[in-house]
Amino acid sequence: MAEEKTRTTKDFINKVLAGLSIGIVVALVPGALLGELSKALLNVVPAAQYIIDATNLAMRMLPIVIGFTVAMQFKMTPIQASSIGIATVVGSGVANAAEKGAFVLMGTGDVINAALTATIAVGIVLFLGSRLKAYTILLVPTIVITVAGLIGLFILPYVQLITSGIGQVINTFTNLQPVIMGSLVAISFALLIVSPISTVGVATAIALAGIGSGAANLGIVAAGFGLAVSGWAANSFGTSIAHFLGSPKMQVANFVQKPIMMLPIVCNAAVLGGLAGVFNIQGTPMSAGFGFSGLIGPINAINLMDGGWSAGNLLLVTVMFLILPIILGIIFNYVFTKLFQIVSPDDYKLTFE
């Protein structure tokens, strides 16, 4: 009986994490793929503004998408899934009340709290079951949105302390010698990018700039390419490249279930972060949390280099943000799958249905 209960709890958590991963991919990847490219083309193709607006709106829709994709994992009805999605928006903190009944959408909301709110909402729906019978369409949305949503809002300030606390720990690294600091920051952001915690939120909260920002970007790059390489044999081509063109956050479910899978990626990040200190790779607080996606990290690194867009700087950034992460990914994947056999390609397998 205890084993069955444990299995049921594990299945519940796995479904929530799977829904969270899918929601992140759906809402964030379009912006990661097209955001910076559209901005670069804006002066030449003014219509690119529509793409920018659409992808920005998609990012802000992340909470409702998370709620809906989590609900889909539990085979919820349209009424139940829609209610869970709206409750997740309320609890995420993405929407702030403005004047005259308007709401302002700020960022993506708190992803951790969105996941917690969606979990609470699913729990309420499962508890209600078929008890409400003919009153389901009236009471399910009312109960789920108000109860789960308000619980989410209540715990939001406390959950946000997690992000600020992590930010303060990372901030202490910036006082260390550049190479050591670079390695520690890169490792931290490589781990954060596969967690529900927002790397952008952490970076902006502590105003991470200079080499710290550059190292953070390279940590995320290490995660993107490292996860693509490690899971290449288990995932499709599109899923593999989405790790670095989109977001490594799609691995959040695998990371929570088996954290050891990040060992090759942590080693990759440690090397790249240390090299950020050696070669003075820099960034800004707004670029620190993006890595390779949208070319935000590489572009900002070049802009902050002496000489700007020179051939030498272009070569250095290409090596640091593209060539070296792939080479290190292959090396560390070989070390930990063949030499020590600690991880396997199946640890990185993703299935999106």
User: Mean pLDDT of successive 10-residue segments in the chain (353 residues)?
Assistant: 60 87 82 75 87 89 93 93 95 86 84 92 91 85 94 92 85 88 94 86 82 93 94 90 84 90 96 94 83 81 89 94 95 94 92 66
Residues 290 and 180 in one domain: yes
Would you say 213 and 288 are in contact if contact means Cβ atoms under 8 Å apart?
Answer: yes
Tell me, yes or no, whether 169 lies in a domain.
Answer: no
Report the distance separating Cα 329 and Cα 342, nearest Å.
Answer: 15
Asked whether residue 328 is assigned to any structural domain, the reply reads: yes
**Residues found in the chain:** 353
* Local structure of 347: helix, strand or coil: helix
Residue at 124 is within a domain: yes
The answer to whether residue 168 sits within a structural domain is no
Helix (H, G, I), strand (E, B) or coil at 74: coil
263 and 135 fall within a common domain? no
Based on the structure, what is the number of domains in the chain?
Answer: 2
What's the pLDDT at 352? Answer: 67
Radius of gyration from C-alpha coordinates of the chain? 21
Asked if 244 and 273 sit in the same domain, the reply is yes
- Give residue 149's pLDDT: 95
Q: Among 101, 128, 161, which residue terminates a domain?
A: 161
Residue 156 and residue 124 in one domain: yes
In a domain, 167, yes or no: no
- Considering the domain architecture, whether residues 111 and 249 belong to the same structural domain is answered as no
- The three-class DSSP label of residue 103 is strand
pLDDT score recorded for residue 141: 92
Supply the pLDDT for residue 353. 54
Q: Give the domain-ending residue among 161, 196, 217.
A: 161
Q: Which ranges constitute the DSSP H helices of the chain?
A: 2-41, 48-60, 62-73, 78-92, 111-128, 136-143, 149-173, 178-192, 199-205, 210-230, 237-245, 252-257, 263-279, 296-303, 311-318, 324-334
Q: How confident is the model at residue 121, as a pLDDT? A: 96
Q: Would 130 be classed as within a structural domain?
A: yes
**Distance between alpha carbon 271 and the CA centroid of its chain, in Å?**
22
Give the whole-angstrom CA distance, residue 349 versus residue 297.
27
**pLDDT for 1:** 46
User: Does residue 166 form part of some domain?
Assistant: no
- pLDDT at 290 (0 to 100): 79
Print the domain residue range for 287: 174-348
The pLDDT value given to residue 5: 54
